[in-house]
Amino acid sequence: MYPYSIILFNLCASIFYKMSLMNVKKLFWILFLLNLFNYIDRQVLFSVFPLLQQDLNISDTQLGTLASVFMIVYMLYAPLVGYFADRTQRQKWIGISAIIWSAATMACAWAKNYLVLLITRGFIGIGEAGFTTIAQPFLAENYPKEKRATILSGFALALPAGSAIGYLAGGFVGQHWGWRAAFMLVGIPGIFLGLMALTQLKDTLRLTQGTRDRARTVDYLILLRNKSFIFLCLAHAMGTFALGGLSAWMPTYFHRFFDFSVSHAGLVFGIMVVVCGALGTYLGGRLADKLLKRTHLAYFITIFGSFLMALPFAALGVYCTQTLWAVVCFSAAVVFIFLPMGPISAALVALTRTRVRSMAFAINIFIIHALGDAISPVLLGRASDLWGLKTAVLLCTLTVIPACVFTALSALFARKTGHLQEYYQTSK
C-alpha cells in the first residue's frame, strides 16, 4: 500500500505545481477535479461492502447505515455553509472542505471497528457538503445563461466518472490489498486540490458585492415560499432516492445474483456508471440548452422526460434472468437517471436570486438527501433483509413516478409566477 501512496503523493504534487503556473482560466477544471474526487471518495465505500461485511461481521442494514450517516451529516451541515457562503468569499469554503473530506477518507483506513468507521464517514459528509453547496452556483455565475445547462452538465460528469473510478479502484484495490488500502489511496489527491482552490480561485462576485446586495433574512423567507423551487427540490429528491439506492447496492446485486467477484462487480457497475452516466449527463445539458431556444420550460421538459423513461428499463433489468440483458436494461436506466443532472442545476439557478444561491443549493441538498439517498441505502438494506434484494431494487425505482409529478408542478408554478421570464430578462 505504501509505495503506491508515495507514487500518488508525488504525482499530485507535480500536477499542483504545474497547474499553479498556468495562465489560462482554471475555475472549471479545478472545480471539476474536486467534484471528481468528491464522488470517488464517496462511492469507494460501496465497492468494498462485501469485504467490510466479512471483516467487521455486520448486517446489510449496518452497511446501508454507513451510507446514510454520511448523507445525514451532509444534509444537516449544508444550510450552515450556505448561510456563511452567501456572505463570505467562497473559495475558502471550497478549499478547506476538500481538505476535510480527503483527510477523513484516509482516516477510514485506520478504523478498527464499526463505530469509528461511522464517525469518519460523518466527517466526509461535513467536507463534501461544504464543497457541493457552493461549487455549482459559483461556477454558473461565471458563464452566460444560454450555456449554463451544458457547463453544469460538464461539471456533473464528475458524478458518473468519479463514481465509476470509486467502484473500479475500490473493487480492484480492495480485492488485492484490502479495503483499508482503497480508502487510503483515493483520499490523497483531494488534499492537493483543496490547496489549489485556496490559492488559485478568486470569488470576484463576493469581492465586488456591496453590503446592501448581501442576503437578508427576508430573502430566505421569499426563497422558502417559492413553490416552483420547492417542487423542483422534491423532484430532485425522488430521483436522488433511486440513484442513491442503486449506487449503494448494485455492485452487491451483481455479486449475489450473477456470481460476480467483488472486483468484477465493481468493474461492471463502474463501467455502466462512467459510460452511461456520462452519456446521460452530457446529453441532458445539450438537449436542455437546445430546447431553451424554443421555450423557457426547456429544463423542466428535459427533467420530466428523463425520469419517465428510467422506470421501464430499471424494472426490466430486475426481471431479466440473463446477465447480458439485465446489464443492458440497467445501463439504459442509468442513462435516463443521469440525464436531468445539468438541467436540474440550471433550473435551480434560474429560479433563485444571486444573493441567496448558496443557501438555495444548501436547501436543495438538505431536501434531496433527507428524502433521498440519506435513507434509500438503509431502507433498501432493510427491504433486502425482509424480502430480498431484487424486490428492494424494484421498489427503489418506483420513486421516479412522484419525481415526474413534482417536476410538472414545478414547471406549472414557474410559468404561473413568471420566475423564468424575470430570470431571462436580467443580466445575472
Query: What letter represents residue 249's amino acid?
Result: W
Fold for 2-425, please state it.
Growth Hormone; Chain: A; (1.20.1250)
Per-residue pLDDT, 205: 61
pTM of the entire predicted model: 0.74
Q: CA–CA separation, 423 vs 428, rounded Å? A: 8
Averaged pLDDT, 121-130 = 91
Q: Do residues 375 and 88 touch, judged by C-beta distance below 8 A?
A: no
Q: Does residue 427 register a pLDDT over 60?
A: no
> pLDDT tens digits, residue range 278-289?
899 889 988 988
Q: CA–CA separation, 343 vs 357, rounded Å? A: 16
> pLDDT tens digits, residue range 59-94?
777 887 887 788 788 888 888 888 887 777 788 889
Q: CA–CA separation, 205 vs 354, rounded Å? A: 10
> pLDDT tens digits, residue range 20-45?
444 336 788 889 999 999 989 888 88
Cell 423567507 appears where?
A: 221
For residue 250, count other CB atoms closer than 10 A to its CB. 23
Averaged pLDDT, 137-154 = 81
